Amino acid sequence: MFIFDISNPLTLLLMLAVTVLLIFLAQEVKKSYIGAIVLFAYLAILVIHVAQMATLSEEFRYMIETLSRCIVIDFIFVFIGFFSYLWVDDIEAKAKGIKSIDNSLDWFWKKV
C-alpha cells in the first residue's frame, strides 16, 4: 500500500517550503486563488489519508502510527493554508477596493 508519508522530515521541509513560496507568490501578485489552491491540495491529501486509514486491512495495521502522524500534519497544513488564504484575500480586497470574503478577522490582520 502506497502512503504519501509527509511525516518524513525531508518531505515535511519541502512541503513547507513550497507552501511558503506559494503564499508569498499569492501575496505578491495579490491573487487569493493561489492560496485556495494550496488549501484544497492539503484538504485532498487529508481526505486521502483518512480514507487510507479507514480502509486499512489487517496486514497493514503497522501503518496506523504513520497515518496518524500524517493526518495531524495535514490538519496543521490545512490550518496554515486557510489563514493564508484569508490573509491574501484581505490583501487582494484592499488592493482592488472591494469587500473581502470574510471581515471577521480584521482585528487579527491589524496586529500582523
Range of the domain at 56: 9-111
Helices (runs of H) and strands (runs of E) counted in the chain = 4, 0
- Total of domains in the chain: 1
Give, for 5, the enclosing helix (H) or strand (E). Answer: none
User: Which residue type sits at 104?
Assistant: S
Q: Please, are residues 36 and 27 in contact by the beta-carbon 8 Å criterion?
A: no
DSSP state of 8: S
Note the pLDDT of residue 109.
Answer: 62
* Cell numbers standing for residue 68: 496518524
Write down the residue that cell numbers 484544497 correspond to. 40
* Average pLDDT estimate for 6-27: 92
* pLDDT score of 32 more than 90: no
3 domain-assigned: no
4 domain-assigned: no
* pLDDT score of 4 more than 90: no
DSSP state of 7: T
Q: Please, are residues 38 and 47 in contact by the beta-carbon 8 Å criterion?
A: no
User: 27 CB contacts (<8 Å, ≥6 apart)?
Assistant: 87, 88, 91
79 domain-assigned: yes
Higher pLDDT, 102 or 94: 94
99 domain-assigned: yes
Residue 58's SS3 state is helix
